[in-house]
Structure 1
Amino acid sequence: MNNSSQFDADLIVIGSGVMGGLIATRLAKAGKSVIILEAGPRVKRADIVETYRNAPVKLSLANMKAQGSGSPFPNPPHIPSTYGDYLQQVGPVKYPTKYLRVVGGTTWHFGSALWRMIPNDFKLRTLYGRGRDWPIGYDELEHYYNEAEAELGVSGVDGQDESGHGGAAHPPRSKPFPMKGLNEPYFMQRVAEMLKPGGYNPVIEPHGRASRPYGNRPVCAGNNNCNPVCPIGAKYDGSMHIDAAERHGAKLLDNAVVHKIEAGDDGKITAVQYTRPDGSTHRLTARHFVLAAYGIESPKLLLMSTSEKYPNGIANSSDQVGRNLMGHTGISMNIMMGEDVWPGQGPTELLVYLNWRDGPFRKDIPSYKTKFRNTVPTSQIASGLIEKGVFGSRLDAEIRRQSARSLNVAVDFETEALPQNRIVPSKTKRDAIGIPLPEIYYSVNDYWNAGRDFGVTDLKRMAALMNAEILKMDTSHQDRQHIMGTTIMGDDPKDSVVDRDCRTHDHPNLFIAGTSVMPSASCMNPTLTGAALSVRIADQLLKEI
């Protein structure tokens, strides 16, 4: 029932990415009145593709990982781009994560890896004496993983052992993938063949690219620029759920930067205030609220929302809001193969190795994922050769040779939830509409350092098996753009922000959706886990509204 005389909506969702979109769609389908607030503007795929197509340099030498991600997206003054100096770094290790503040959120430019966690990832403290345990286990989330995979349209290989040990199917699944996996390019088949004698078991990544027509999505055509944008919409992005939510009656307000959450003396959230690009402020009320603004903006907003009753901000009686920032801090290796393997066909990522995903070793070193990037840095190769004075037909021949043989192998390490790693609103720096910039303190501990040393040795072994020359080993704390842990989940209100249902301990009608609630990071991309938790939140809201 929509009591519009008392509230502006049954539900207000802050953030229009995959998490907010999933919840908004489910509630709108059930006939509830829903308002979605998004800080950034709507974008059109055709415009982003055209901007990217016309960019003079597609690959930045300084940040090969980004592949130009974010550069074609808007950068208006009221939502400064994370590709600039918006994120204030104050810790010993930089955390230069890249997220998008547009309708549909960061999935516009994500690599589209959609992994489940495995059961042991939920019991890190109990099994290995590291980090934190979850208050829920894999069994409680498995059903929601199925639903999230159907919502996002995941392609994968049924029966695969995703623990990397080459054994029985793991983690256990009660339903097959919604779509079969894409065909593996020659490069991946050849690499797998060369590494097999070393005991490396290839795993094909589950991901959000269509291998058959799925909803309005066409089959992936292998354009190979998933970052920064899929030109044909074969890859899932959060705008698809926002479109669905609107079709079912949800109302989207874009360019609406929420800057304050209000709460009554009884703990219930009563309203949110937002600012438009012109500086005007507005206020909306609802029965329930979902904060789904990703792992930096969500805690920043909670900490900014101070009042006499809540001097430390909303949902922060534990002093854990903004703390426990995690990521997949990584290393990588550039190699030159001794034969042509022709990377760059198909999606930007697909082949991974998970031999070190789980086992007793996690007491001493973090779990990690090793991925072969399916990209060709042609402009970097060309500019490097030109700097060396290579021109003409020799330049052409050398670009062809190196583009067929250059590979980047990257390692993503699990990190522990450390309370000193945190995000807070800056006390001194503000954006164009007067909202504090995010200030980030990030560090790694000896556990990560032990993983780095182990991983370097492992990468060298892989290079030897492939008869490849190592051109560069980069151990400089690479950021993988996977933000987790800043509104952590737990049973104890004294050391966590949300409970097992993602409801804030302090406010019964405020839920937090997304990867920020995760108590541990595993070594896998967290989007699908956040999506599964979001479907679970939607179920809970439907019982209450």
Structure 2
Amino acid sequence: MSEQQYDADVIIIGSGVMGGVIATQLAKAGKSVIILEAGPRVTRAEILERYRSSPFKMSLTNMKLQGVGSPYPDLPHVPSTYGDYLQQSGPVKYPTKYLRVVGGTTWHFGSALWRMIPNDFKLQSLYGRGRDWPFGYDELEPWYGKAEHELGVSGVDGQDESGQGGKAWPPRSTPFPMPGLPTSYLFERLTEKLLKGGYNPVLEPNGRATRPYGRRPVCAGNNNCNPVCPIAAKYDGSQHIDEAERLGVKLLDNSVVYRIEADDSGAISSIWYRKPDGSNHQLKAKTFVLAAYGIESPKLLLMSTSEKYPNGIANSSDQVGRNLMGHTGISMNFMMNEDVWPGEGPTELLVYLNNRDGEFRKRFPSYKIKVRNTVPTADYTASLIAKGVLGTELDRQIRLLSARSLNFAIDFETLPLPENRVVPSKTKTDAIGIPVPDIYYSVNDYWEAGKDEGVKDFHQFAELLGGEILKIDTKYQDRQHIMGTTIMGDDPRTSVVNADCRTHDHPNLFIAGTSVMPSSSCMNPTLTGAALSLRLAHHLLTQVLV
């Protein structure tokens, strides 16, 4: 194939944070790049208007999901994951919510941007569970620092993120780009009470600006990071897409990639995409990066079957779509016996990490306990009115609930179980004829042992705080953290990509994002995905596109 036949040096499938970060780095180096995004462009103004007009907004049951009130588009060619797009075939539901729009899922993420710790990279070697990474924390550490600067992370330098209240951890070669957000009265009061039980407060590193950062203003504490930051103080992937386009990257929205083709040598030769009108189009490049997140990426690979690749692209190991991980969790609704006034500042910031690491991981998983700093006033009001509470008494009870109702949630580490997988549905397609994802998900005894430990912590919290447990919900809550479905490893027989995120089967196909992670830890994976993406971009520029 001659140079003139290529449409670009690199084609990137997916316009979320991973695709945007890579595109920006490549464009700065003068490479020609095309990004394809299945969904449409959205603007902050239209999202905000839909959110303000929605009757659902924030509620106890929809704190994060916003249910059918999601302000993001639900279009025939890209059905919303807030509906019935994801088919569930396993014993545990995996109703994850990701956005198919330009900029991707970080539009509505809570903005937690954590590093993993060294032992998270060697879970099998240390604790006999899951898998090890093909490299350790030291290899990724400088890329974590670069990712924190790219995404604009605010955090507390010198903090012990192990939850033990000791020295700074994990090791860092660079400080946070911005200082952490100020704490609220709620956080100070919880800290005072829970410290008596040995629970050390940790303030979450996050993507909210505490000083003007690039084009981002300082966080104003609007408290609706989900579903959208109204002033763009919170990082989202559209910011890297905007930069990439300013640098000359071409973005094709409403372009659903449905097939990846390989030539006789095994190299990827082209991709095919479909527009909402049903028309099909082909593009060719030297190098391809798949950055369509942990559900759509494996689905696309498995759909791309041929005589030479009957099981799909990059799937000689039969691991594509397998090893689906998340942070399946539980929660507790709690009524304090004093006013603490949640809702000041961002939706999440304070966490407890006493069980982040230790020998216990041989028996049960690591986990994070987080304080959900939200006040679902509309839900309180609707519930009270339904009970016949009106007038002055309604006002009194709304104030009481708003001042004292708390929600604590636990995110558990999960293991890469090969039976947990994503495949293209054999029975259902979307409006343009593309199979929807079919998900099988389950948890094992390891997770159940973690749940038992987490419930003990909830009861200990209740004793220390004073007040009343209203409900402990142990019904396998999804945390929208998708990992593992194109897993990384040194052995082509048991993994999809190598340590450089290159597919074992195809020399010019790379996969970016959290789907390559061999272990989940108990922490939000976005920063790890971004660090891996920056490392991948560097590899492309120094080893591939030369």
TM superposition score category, shorter chain reference: over 0.9
SS in 1 for 2:496: coil
- State the distance in 1 between where 2:375 and 2:270 align: 49
1:238 — aligned with what? 237
* 1:312 match: 311
SS of the residue corresponding to residue 5 of structure 2 reads coil
CA distance in 2, matches of 1:55, 1:464: 38
Partner of residue 23, structure 2: 24
1:391-439 Cα deviation digits (max 9, x unpaired): 0010001100110000000000000000000000001100000000100
Per-residue deviation, 1:69: 9.1
Deviation at 1:468, TM superposition (A): 2.1
Residues in 1 aligned to 2:59 and 2:430: alpha-carbon distance in whole angstroms = 26
The alpha carbon displacement at 1:463 in A equals: 1.2
**Are residues 1:184 and 2:183 paired?**
yes
| Residue number in structure 2 paired with 1:489 | 488
- CA distance in 1 between partners of 2:328 and 2:308 (Å): 38
Residues 18-167 of structure 1 mapped to structure 2, 5 A cutoff: 18-67=17-66, 71-167=70-166
Distance 1:484 1:213 in 2: 32
Secondary structure of 1:136's counterpart equals coil
SS at match of 1:169: coil
> Residues 496, 80 of structure 1: CA spacing in aligned structure 2 closer, same or farther, 3 A cutoff?
same
Q: Tell me the secondary structure at the aligned position of residue 66 of structure 1.
A: coil
| Distance apart, 1:265 and its partner CA | 1.5
For residues 509 and 162 of structure 2, the distance between their equivalents in structure 1, rounded to whole angstroms, comes to 35
Residues 476-497 of structure 1, C-alpha deviations (whole Å, 9 max, x = no match):
0000000000000000000000
**2:106 counterpart letter in structure 1:** T
- 2:283 is equivalent to residue 284 of structure 1: yes
Look up the SS of the partner of 1:147 in the other structure: helix
Kindly state the Cα deviation for residue 6 of structure 1 after the two structures are TM-superposed. Answer: 2.6
Name the SS for the 1:314 alignment partner: coil
**Residue type at the aligned position of 1:385:** L
Alignment of 1:210-221 (within 5 A): 210-221=209-220
Q: 2:377 & 2:197 partners in 1: Cα distance?
A: 30
Counterpart residue identity of residue 470, structure 2: L
- Note if contact 2:298-2:320 (Cα within 8 Å) is conserved in structure 1: yes
CA distance in 1, matches of 2:496, 2:137: 21
Tell whether the 8 Å contact from 1:59 to 1:68 is kept in structure 2 after alignment: no
Q: Secondary structure at the match of 1:401?
A: helix
1:255 corresponds to which residue? Answer: 254
Number of the residue aligned with 1:474: 473
In the TM superposition, residue 510 of structure 1 has moved relative to its aligned partner by 0.6
Give 1:42's aligned amino acid: R
The one-letter amino acid paired with 1:57 is F
Instruction: Find the counterpart in structure 2 of residue 229 from structure 1.
Output: 228
Which residue matches 1:270?
A: 269
Amino acid at match of 1:64: M
Alignment of 1:443-482 (within 5 A): 443-482=442-481
Q: CA offset at residue 60 of structure 1?
A: 4.3
Q: Cα distance, 1:388 vs. partner?
A: 1.6
When residues 69 and 527 of structure 1 are mapped into structure 2, their CA distance, relative to the original with a 3 A threshold, is farther
Q: Do the aligned partners of 1:486 and 1:517 also contact (CA within 8 Å) in 2?
A: yes
Cα separation, 2, equivalents of 1:516 and 1:227: 23
Q: 1:381 Cα shift? A: 1.0
Cα separation, 1, equivalents of 2:59 and 2:221: 21
**Partner Cα separation in structure 2 for residue 64 and residue 373 of structure 1:** 9
Letter in 2 for 1:452: K
1:354-396 deviations in whole A, cap 9, x for unaligned?
0000000000010000000000011111111112211001000
- Say whether 1:424 aligns with 2:423: yes
Q: How does 1:290-305 map to 2 (within 5 A)?
A: 290-305=289-304
CA distance in 2, matches of 1:340, 1:243: 43
Deviation for aligned residue 1:197: 0.6
CA contact (8 A) 1:70 1:228 kept: no
What are the equivalent positions in structure 2 for 1:283-362 lying under 5 Å apart?
283-362=282-361
> What's the offset of the Cα at 1:316?
0.1
How far residue 56 of structure 1 moved from its aligned partner, in angstroms, is 1.5
Instruction: State the alpha-carbon separation in 1 of the partners of residues 325 and 304 from structure 2.
Output: 23
Could you say which residue in structure 1 is the equivalent of 2:499? Answer: 500
Structure 1 CA distance for aligned equivalents of residues 462 and 288 of structure 2: 50
Hey, what's the Cα distance between the residues in 1 that align with 2:73 and 2:28?
Answer: 31
Q: TM-score, normalised by structure 2?
A: 0.99
Equivalent residues of 2:55, 2:69 under 8 A apart = no
Contact map agreement 1:121 1:520 (CA 8 A) in 2: yes
CA positional deviation for 1:67: 4.2
Cα distance in 1 for partners of 2:46, 2:522 equals 34
| Distance across 2 between alignment mates of 1:366 and 1:247 | 44
What amino acid maps onto 1:142 in structure 2?
E
Taking every aligned residue pair, what percent have the same amino acid on both sides? 76
Deviates more, 1:5-14 or 1:70-79: 70-79
| 8 A contact 2:56–2:66 mirrored in 1 | no
Distance between the aligned counterparts of 2:62 and 2:391, measured in 1?
28
Pair 1:149–1:69, CA change in 2 (3 A): farther
Match of 2:512 in 1: 513
Q: Distance in 1 between matches of 2:511 and 2:39?
A: 19
Give SS of 2:284's match.
strand
Partner of 2:208: 209
Separation of aligned partners in 2, 1:461 and 1:380 = 28
Q: Report the 3-state secondary structure (helix = DSSP H, G, I; strand = E; otherwise coil) of the residue aligned with 1:130.
A: coil
Q: Is the 8 A contact 1:69 1:109 kept in 2?
A: no
1:66 CA displacement = 2.0
- SS of the residue corresponding to residue 260 of structure 1 reads strand
- 1:370-385 aligned at under 5 Å gives the runs 370-385=369-384
CA contact (8 A) 2:68 2:83 kept: no
Gaps of 5+ in 1: none
Give, in angstroms, the shift of residue 70 of structure 1. Answer: 7.3
Which AA in structure 1 matches 2:506? H
1:72 deviation in Å?
Answer: 0.4
Work out whether residues 68 and 227 of structure 1, in 8 Å CA contact, stay in contact via their aligned partners in 2.
Answer: no
Deviation at 1:63, TM superposition (A): 3.0
| TM-superposed deviation, 1:444 | 0.3
Q: Report Cα offsets for 1:275-309 as digits up to 9, x if no partner.
A: 00000000000000000000000000000000111
Look up the equivalent residue of 1:135 and give its one-letter code.
P
SS at match of 1:358: coil
CA distance in 2, matches of 1:66, 1:196: 32
What is the root-mean-square deviation of aligned Cα atoms in Å? Answer: 1.1
Question: Does structure 1 conserve the Cα–Cα contact (< 8 Å) formed by 2:328 and 2:478?
Answer: yes
Displacement after TM superposition at 1:23 (Å): 0.3
Q: Where has structure 1 moved over 6 Å in runs of 4 or more?
A: none
Deviation sequence 1:142-193 (CA, Å, 0-9, x none): 0100100000000000000001111100000000000000101110111011
Residue 61 of structure 1 deviates from its aligned partner by 4.8
SS in 2 for 1:395: helix
Offset at residue 96 of structure 1 (A): 0.2
